[in-house]
Structure 1
Amino acid sequence: MWFVLLFVVLVLLSIIHLWNKSPYHPLLVYLGVWVIVIGLWSLDEVFSIIGYIKVSKEAWVNLSLAHISFVIGSVTATITLIYSQNRNRKLLPRKIIINKSDSLKAMKISNFFLILSFVGYLSYIYVVIQSVDFGAGLAVAFKQWNYEASYGQLAMFGGLSGRLYNLPTLAIPYNVFLISIFPEQKKRLIIISCIEIFFLISPRRAILIQTLMVVLFILLLTRTIRISIKILVIPIILLILFSFSQVVLNKGQGEGIFGGLKVIYLYITGNIPSFDLLMDRNREGMGLMSLSNFYKFLNAIGYRFENVDLSIDFVNIPTPFNTIPYNYYFLMDFGILGSSFVIFTGAYGITFLYYRTMTIFKYLKMEYFTYIYIYSYILMGILFSFRENVLISYNALFFILISIMVSLYFKFQTRIV
Structure 2
Amino acid sequence: MLNLLLFLGLISTPPAILAATIYNPPLYSADSPDDYHDGPIMQWDPETQLFYRYAMAYTQCPLAGAPSTATSMLYKFLNSAVQSLAGTGFDCAPILSPLLSLGFGRDCGFKSPLSGQTVRVHTSADLVNWTVKTNNALEGGPDWLLDSILFRPAILRNPVTKKYVLWVNWLPRDEPVLASYRRSGYAVGTSDSPDGPFVNWTRPAMSHAGGADFSLVFDADAGDAYIAYGSWHNYAVSEGWRAEWYPDWAKDGHQIAIEKLDPSTFVEPAVDSGAVTVTSAPQEAPAFFKRGGFFYLVHGDLCCFCARGGDAKVLASRSAQGPYALVGQLNAWGEDHVPAQNSDVFEVRAEGARETTYVWAADLWFSSKSGMKGDDHQYWEPLVWEDQEVEGLGTVPVPRRAGGGKWMGEWELGQHPKL
Structure 2 length as normaliser, TM-score?
0.24
| Structure with higher strand content | 2
**Greater relative contact order (Cα < 8 A, sep 6+):** 1
